[in-house]
C-alpha cells in the first residue's frame, strides 16, 4: 500500500474536531420520529444536564452535557447552542472535550459567567482512578475555561483541586455568580451518604477560598445533592438542587431522582436555613435545573427533560435527550411560581378554532385541534364535578390504542397526567392536589413530538414528561365521564420550528 507524503504529514484532528466529525456522521443516521422541533436537543448523540446558561453580548447561550459519539451516556463533552430571543436556536461548535490530566474522562456539569469581555466556563473535571464506571475510585476537580468570542475556549486547568475534606470523592457541578465585588461558587459534595453544599469565594475565578458548607442533609434527604443553585428572588434566598436517594412518599418524589427547592435565608456566616423541600416540577422527566438572571431581571430556568433509568427509545434513532422549555420563576409566598417564558408566544402560527365548553358523558373527538407540535389552552370548569374524570386526551391514535390523558379526578381531587398509553415503553401517572374550593382550572399545554409540558395559569404547578407515540397519533379528545363539570379549549395554535 502506498501512502502519500501529505497524508503522513497531515496533523491529527483535535478531540473537538474529531467529535464534530462524529456529529456530522451521526446526523446522517438520524430518525426524526421523536425529535423535537422547538426544544433544545443535540445534533446527534446523547444530551443530559444543562451545563451553563448565560447572557453574553446580547445573546443567550446554553451549554449541555453531551456525548457526540453515541446516543448513550459516555465521556462528557460540552454541547453549545445560542439564541437572540429564547425561541430560535442555533447550534454552535462543541465547547469542551475531555482528555487533559484534570478532565481525562469527562467535562462534567458546571456553569457559565461573563467576566469583563470574557465568557468563562467553570466545570467539573472527572477522572476514573480505577476501572471505568467504579464510583468508589474517582477524582473530581473544579476547572476553568475562557473564551474571547463565546465559541472557542481555552482551558486553564483545575482551579479547585481538593474537596473541603479529604474523604470526599463526589465533588461536582459548580454554580458561579457574582455579588458584592466577589465571585461565589456552590457545588455538590458527598461525604459517605451525607450530602453537603460547600461554598467558595474568589476575586478572579482562578483562586478560591472555602467559606463553609451552605447546607447539609439529614436522614431522608438523600445521599447527594447534584446541580445546586443559590439565588435571591424578591428579597428571599432560594436553594435549588437535585437530590439523589430521597424516597417516595404518597404522591411525592415518584421519580428516581428529583429537582426541587427550599426558600429561606443565607445568613452572614454562610449558612442557609429554609423551609421544606418542594419539587419544582411534578412530571415524569425533569432534572438538573439551572437558572439565569436575565438582562431584564427575570429569573429563568432550564432543566433536562428526561430521567435516569427511564425508557429512551430515541437511542435507536441515534440521538437522545432534550431540554425543557425556558421558564420564568416568581416568588409566591413560600413557593415558586413557574411559567413558560413569555417569548414563546412567538412560536404561534395561525390560531386553531376554539372548542366550546362540553360536559356530556363520554369522549368527543375535536378534529379542529390536532397535531404533535401544539400549544393548547385547556379550561376545566369543576363546578359540580363530584365524581369521575374531566379533561382531555392528546396524541390519540385513530384506533384509540394510544393516548395521553390529562384530567381532573374528582374522587381524589387531583389533576392527573397519565401516560400509560403514551407510546413506546413509557408508563405511569403523576398528579397534583387541587384545593376543594377551586372551581376553575386554566392550563397551558405544550406538545413537541415526544414531550408534553403542562403549566397552571397562575404558576402553581407544572408537569414535564416524555412521550413516544407513533407519528400518526395526532388526535385530541375531550373527556367527561362523571357528574358535572365541563371542559373547553378556548385557544390553540400549531407551533413553528425553533431552529435557525
Concerning whether 49 is annotated as a catalytic residue, the answer is yes
- For 230, how many CA atoms within 13 A lie in the half-sphere containing its CB? 30
CA distance 445 to 140: 40
Q: Which residues contact 369 (CB under 8 A, 6 or more apart)?
A: 352, 353, 355, 376, 476, 489, 492
SS3 at position 70: coil
Query: Which uninterrupted H or E stretch holds 369?
Result: none
Residues 128, 112, 293, 282, CA torsion sign: negative
Q: Which residues contact 289 (CB under 8 A, 6 or more apart)?
A: 50, 227, 229, 240, 242, 259, 280, 301, 302, 303
Cell 473530581 locates to 140
The answer to whether 244 touches 170, Cβ cutoff 8 Å, is no
The answer to whether 186 touches 229, Cβ cutoff 8 Å, is yes
Work out the angle at residue 314's Cα, subtended by the Cα atoms of residues 417 and 494, and round it to the nearest 5 degrees. 55
Write the CA distances from 472 to 34, 139, 304, 448, integer angstroms: 12, 48, 26, 14
CA distance 64 to 66: 6
Residue 253 burial (10 A CB sphere; 0-12, 13-18, 19+): middle
Residues 287, 60, 76, 325, CA torsion sign: positive
All three cell numbers of 435: 384545593
CA distance 39 to 81: 11
DSSP type of residue 64? E
- 32, 49, 70, 409: the catalytic one is 49
Q: Which long-range contacts (CB under 8 A, 24 or more apart) does 420-425 make?
A: 422/395, 422/465, 422/467, 422/468, 422/469, 423/395, 423/467, 423/468, 423/469, 423/470, 423/473, 424/311, 424/313, 424/468, 424/469, 425/311, 425/313, 425/468
The answer to whether 147 touches 153, Cβ cutoff 8 Å, is yes
What is the per-residue burial (b if ≥16 Cβ within 10 Å, else e) of 482-493?
Answer: bebbbbbbebbb
Residues with catalytic function: 49
Amino acid at each position: 500500500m502506498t501512502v502519500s507524503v501529505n497524508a503522513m504529514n497531515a496533523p491529527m484532528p483535535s478531540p473537538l474536531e474529531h467529535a464534530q466529525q462524529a456529529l456530522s456522521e451521526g446526523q446522517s443516521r438520524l430518525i426524526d420520529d421523536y425529535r423535537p422541533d422547538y426544544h433544545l436537543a443535540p445534533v446527534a448523540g446523547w444530551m443530559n444536564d444543562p451545563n451553563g446558561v448565560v447572557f453574553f453580548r446580547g445573546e443567550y447561550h446554553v451549554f449541555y452535557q453531551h456525548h457526540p459519539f453515541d446516543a448513550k451516556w459516555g465521556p462528557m463533552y460540552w454541547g453549545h447552542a445560542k439564541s437572540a430571543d429564547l425561541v430560535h436556536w442555533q447550534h454552535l461548535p462543541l465547547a469542551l472535550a475531555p482528555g487533559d490530566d484534570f478532565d481525562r474522562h469527562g467535562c462534567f456539569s458546571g456553569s457559565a459567567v461573563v467576566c469583563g469581555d470574557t465568557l468563562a466556563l467553570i466545570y467539573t473535571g472527572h477522572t476514573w482512578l480505577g476501572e471505568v464506571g467504579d464510583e468508589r475510585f474517582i477524582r473530581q476537580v473544579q476547572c476553568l475555561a475562557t473564551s474571547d468570542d463565546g465559541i472557542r475556549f481555552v482551558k486553564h486547568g483545575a482551579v479547585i483541586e481538593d474537596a473541603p475534606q479529604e474523604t470526599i470523592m463526589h465533588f461536582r457541578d459548580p454554580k458561579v455568580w457574582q455579588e458584592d465585588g466577589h465571585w461565589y461558587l456552590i457545588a455538590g459534595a458527598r461525604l459517605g451518604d451525607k450530602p453537603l453544599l460547600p461554598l467558595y469565594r474568589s476575586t478572579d475565578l482562578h483562586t478560591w477560598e472555602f467559606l463553609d458548607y451552605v447546607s447539609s442533609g439529614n436522614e431522608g434527604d438523600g445521599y447527594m445533592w447534584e446541580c445546586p443553585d443559590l439565588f435571591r428572588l424578591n428579597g428571599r434566598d432560594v436553594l435549588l438542587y437535585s437530590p439523589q436517594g430521597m424516597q417516595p412518599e404518597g404522591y411525592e418524589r415518584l421519580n428516581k431522582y428529583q429537582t426541587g427547592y427550599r426558600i429561606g435565608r443565607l445568613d452572614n456566616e454562610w449558612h442557609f436555613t429554609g423551609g421544606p423541600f418542594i419539587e419544582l416540577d411534578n412530571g415524569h422527566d425533569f432534572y438538573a435545573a439551572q437558572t439565569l438572571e436575565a438582562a431584564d431581571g427575570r429569573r429563568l430556568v432550564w432543566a433536562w427533560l428526561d430521567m435516569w433509568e427511564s425508557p429512551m427509545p430515541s437511542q435507536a434513532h441515534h440521538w437522545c435527550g432534550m431540554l425543557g422549555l425556558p421558564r420564568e420563576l416568581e416568588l409566591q409566598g413560600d413557593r415558586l411560581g413557574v411559567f413558560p417564558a413569555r417569548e414563546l408566544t412567538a412560536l404561534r402560527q395561525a390560531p386553531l378554532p376554539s372548542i366550546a365548553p362540553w360536559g356530556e358523558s363520554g369522549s368527543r373527538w375535536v378534529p379542529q385541534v390536532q397535531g404533535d407540535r401544539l400549544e393548547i389552552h385547556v379550561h376545566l370548569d369543576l363546578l359540580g364535578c363530584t365524581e369521575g374524570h374531566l379533561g382531555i386526551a392528546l396524541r390519540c391514535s385513530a384506533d384509540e390504542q394510544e393516548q395521553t390523558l390529562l384530567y381532573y379526578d374528582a374522587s381524589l381531587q387531583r389533576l392527573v397526567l397519565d401516560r400509560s398509553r403514551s407510546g413506546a415503553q413509557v408508563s405511569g401517572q403523576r398528579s397534583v392536589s387541587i384545593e376543594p374550593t377551586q372551581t376553575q382550572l386554566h392550563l397551558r399545554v405544550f406538545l413537541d413530538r415526544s414531550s408534553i409540558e403542562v403549566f397552571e395559569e397562575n404558576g402553581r404547578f407544572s408537569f414535564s414528561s416524555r412521550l413516544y407515540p407513533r407519528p400518526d397519533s395526532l388526535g385530541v379528545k375531550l373527556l367527561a365521564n362523571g357528574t358535572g363539570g365541563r371542559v373547553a379549549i378556548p385557544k390553540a395554535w400549531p407551533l413553528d420550528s425553533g431552529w435557525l
